[in-house]
Amino acid sequence: MERRIFYFGPFALDASQGRLSRRGRAIHLTGKALRLLLLLVSKPGVTLSVQEIMSGLWGDNEDATEQTLRQHVLMLRHALEDSVKERYIATDYGRGYRFLGEVSERPPSYMTGVVEQYCAAAAEFQSAGSPAGMMASLHLYDRALAMDDSNAAALGGAAMTRVLMADFQYDRPRELLETARRQAEASLSVDPDCMDAINALCKVRLDYSWDFAGALERAERALKIDSNNRIAAFMYPWILLLSARFAESVAFIDALPARVSSQNIIATCRGIATLFSGDYDAGNAELESVCRRWPDYWFARTFFALGLVKAGKEEDALRIFDSVRHSTFDPLVDRQMNARYFSEGYALYARFRVGDTQTAERDLERLVRLEESQFIPATIFALAELGRKRYPEALAYIRQCRDNRECWYTHLAVDPLVAELHLDAAELYGQAP
């Protein structure tokens, strides 16, 4: 069924979803009241007889009376803040009711400005990166979409927020990525150059479908539109890195303009590419340099500590992992990325490997308790079992990572800590939808 939205004054009535909103804020109405409103707005200026309305809403239900109808009209007038100054529902005495407002199936021009304001505020909350910021961002994008459900910026922004929530593992990634894909595709059908939508679909291709080539194409498309876009400039070499094309990843970063390649996330990506290529000394040196420049940048610190594990310096690595996983999120840190769950898992791996079993088991118990009330990535438990060298159990958790579409699963072909499992990339990524 074709989706229809009726706009009048500051209101939007979504006929297919049975939802009324005022400037993007939902207004609760009963099902009958919504159907009455839909009858009236679908024929603006036309008097609908009491009998016609009663038949449409209640059929042969003898319990409904004209008094019942009048109560529903009053309910609507209250919800619409109907007044002498701004009247939407007129009573034609002895005949029926008539809708007075001007109705359109296209958003009025003033709504465009309101939608833009919601999108701008949502983007600000999104950039904070915290769980509360992400939820506020989604709420504002949803309010924008309640006013204009085909707005490309709102659809793309909402998709990007969901992708980041999946990446930071604030909730189950699979559902977030599925919704992000639908919203990004809808956005691009309206505006093929919407950067948020392109970047979101790039990440969906990577972590949901494990379509490395398709993800790379979208990152390239984003860079053609804006060569300075931070996310696209990171995603292109990151996809090369995860595809085990380490030299190409480093070469791409080195060819970027200095103002782009010197950003913390890009510099970290280069260090990880060097580290994952097997050159642990050089990779650690690069990542240590990034950590000195941005001492509170969790993403760099986490992978630097991983490199220290591979260099046999587990105790040093554990101090870094612990500092990250115990950190209080600070949205004021420039473009912070939440890497705490990665650090939780890598710390467990290292603790089991150095024989600090008591601390590791205590931390695992805490995470199991947390799992009762919030999403805890299977990544953490897989790394713990790897640390114990209990490989069948680790593989069972890895299958959960796959089913959840956790981003760590996409790392498995190159992550040096899982090399001992001898995983085959074709088998890992051959089951995508």
From 226, 250, 265, the end of a domain falls on 226
200 neighbors 432 (Cβ within 8 angstroms):
no
State residue 182's pLDDT score. 94
Q: Same domain, yes or no, for 129 and 68?
A: no
Q: Same domain, yes or no, for 217 and 138?
A: yes
Q: What is the model's pTM?
A: 0.79
- Residue 22 domain-assigned? yes
β 89-92/96-99 pair status: antiparallel
State residue 113's pLDDT score. 85
51 neighbors 74 (Cβ within 8 angstroms):
no
Q: Where are the beta strands (DSSP E) in 185-277?
A: none
Q: Same domain, yes or no, for 123 and 35?
A: no
Q: Same domain, yes or no, for 175 and 68?
A: no
- Residue 329 domain-assigned? no
From 99, 131, 151, the end of a domain falls on 99
Q: Same domain, yes or no, for 37 and 146?
A: no
Q: Same domain, yes or no, for 113 and 179?
A: yes
Q: Same domain, yes or no, for 155 and 55?
A: no
- Residue 251 domain-assigned? no
Determine the structural domain holding residue 29 and report its residue range: 5-99
- Residue 279 domain-assigned? no
State residue 331's pLDDT score. 45
The total number of structural domains in the chain stands at 2
Residue ranges in the chain modelled with pLDDT below 50: 331-334
CATH code at position 174: 1.25.40.10
Neighbours of 166 (CB within 10 A): 28
Q: Same domain, yes or no, for 75 and 123?
A: no
Residue whose token pair is 């299977």 = 378
**In which region does residue 45 sit, left (phi positive, over 0), alpha (psi from -120 to 50) or beta (all else)?**
left
- Residue 170 domain-assigned? yes
- Residue 231 domain-assigned? no
Q: Same domain, yes or no, for 116 and 205?
A: yes
Q: How far is CA 288 from CA 84, 282, 399, 415, 418, in A?
A: 69, 10, 33, 19, 23
Q: Same domain, yes or no, for 72 and 114?
A: no
Q: Six-digit token pair at 353?
A: 């490997």
Q: Same domain, yes or no, for 142 and 184?
A: yes
- Residue 153 domain-assigned? yes
Q: Same domain, yes or no, for 212 and 112?
A: yes
Q: Six-digit token pair at 104?
A: 């359109």
219 neighbors 236 (Cβ within 8 angstroms):
yes
366 neighbors 376 (Cβ within 8 angstroms):
no
- Residue 403 domain-assigned? no
2 neighbors 124 (Cβ within 8 angstroms):
no
State residue 332's pLDDT score. 45
**Residues with Cβ < 8 Å from 301, sequence gap 6 or more?**
291, 320, 323, 324, 339
From 198, 226, 254, the end of a domain falls on 226
